Amino acid sequence: MSESLKLLIGKAELDTAISRMAARLKEDYPGPLTCLCVLKGALYFFSDLTRLMGDQVTIGMLTTKSYDGTRSTGFKADLSSCPDLKGKDVLVIEDIVDTGHSMTRLLPLLQEQQPRSLKVCVLIDKKARREVDYTPDYSCFTFDDPFVVGYGFDYDERYRNLPEIYELSFT
């Protein structure tokens, strides 16, 4: 079986969507905001987005793992690099919401720290694949099915570093 990549979202389209999202977030959060990067998938999105969000942002990291190849498996979260969220406005920045299981497992763990507010911004909302009732507060792109790689998205840890987003298929 061989893998093939087809360009789905190019650099210019990514830049436009991310600039638009940064402007919207700056308007919605005029004061201090803690942005949390969900590693590893959101790495590049988080980096590009937060650099456009001005001087009120502090950053934190957390790691989740929920995938094995193209199949959804278990869920693990490592919050050891996550700052104290108590009383803070917090925005989780994630690569994608697919079945919705990861986000609905992660949010209660963050809520335990009693942030003042807790919202989620995703690059891609794959609405049609949802298995639980969850809608992210902000999303740059919405589409149905294709499995994507590049710009942080991986297939078995490969392709994350590609600068644009590709649809991965097997032939």
Of 83, 92, 145, 158, the residue nearest 122 (C-alpha): 92
95: contact with Mg ion by CB under 5 A: yes
Q: What is the DSSP code (8-state) at residue 22?
A: H
When the beta carbons of 26 and 65 are compared against ligand IMP, the nearer one is 65
Q: How far is the CB of 7 from ligand IMP (least distance, A)?
A: 15
CA–CA distances in Å: residue 1 to residues 4, 9, 153, 159, 162: 10, 25, 21, 17, 22
Burial 58-84 (b: 16+ CB within 10 A, else e): eebbbebebbeeeebeeeebebeebbe
Helix (H, G, I), strand (E, B) or coil at 147: coil
What amino acid positions are annotated as catalytic residues?
98
Answer for which of 67, 138, 141, 143 binds ligand IMP (CB under 6 A) is 67
148: contact with ligand IMP by CB under 6 A: yes
C-beta nearest to Mg ion: residue: 41
When the beta carbons of 10 and 32 are compared against ligand IMP, the nearer one is 10
Answer for which of 41, 100, 115, 136 binds Mg ion (CB under 5 A) is 41
Q: How far is the CB of 148 from Mg ion (least distance, A)?
A: 12
Q: Tell me which residues touch Mg ion (CB under 5 A).
A: 41, 95
